[in-house]
Amino acid sequence: EIVLTQSPATLSLSPGERATLSCRASQSVSSSYLAWYQQKPGQAPRLLIYGASSRATGIPDRFSGSGSGTDFTLTISRLEPEDFAVYYCQQCGYSPFTFGPGTTVDIK
């Protein structure tokens, strides 16, 4: 099983600042199979990034993904008020299709 670790657990930032979230895998993950989601309280998750760096439909270009092998990054270039949420990475290549524990981006 591929275990995903996300850091930091919580990121406290102000609107307009840049957010950098990390996702590390216990073994190599093909870039084609790494995704990022955003979840707000009481809502279902929303797909942001697939294939490590491709934005899903309707996702603003302030969200970008990068990385390869075991280290992946989600960057939000300038935080908007609606971006404060929990972010999860997921590996999609092999069952079990595990999620990371999440990073909470909250308002400083």
Partner 1 sequence: EVQLVESGGGLVQPGRSLRLSCAASGFTFNSYAMSWVRQAPGRGLEWVSTIGASGGITYYADSVKGRFTISRDNSQNTLYLQMNSLRAEDTAVYFCAKAFRGWAPFDYWGQGTLVTVSS
Rounded to whole angstroms, the maximal C-alpha distance in the chain is: 38
Tell me if 9 contacts partner 1 by CB under 8 A: no
The residue among 17 and 46 lying less far from partner 1, judged by its C-beta, is 46
Q: Which of 101, 106, 107, 108 binds partner 1 (CB under 8 A)?
A: 101
User: If you search the block for the tokens 């934005």, which residue do you land on?
Assistant: 55
Tell me if 90 contacts partner 1 by CB under 8 A: yes
Cβ atoms of 103 and 86 closer than 8 Å: yes
Tell me if 67 contacts partner 1 by CB under 8 A: no
Cβ atoms of 10 and 108 closer than 8 Å: no
Tell me if 97 contacts partner 1 by CB under 8 A: yes
| Torsion angle defined by CA atoms of residues 55, 19, 79 and 93, in that order, rounded to the nearest 10 degrees | 20
Binding site residues, partner 1, CB under 8 A: 1, 33, 35, 37, 39, 44-47, 50, 56-57, 86, 88, 90, 92, 95-102
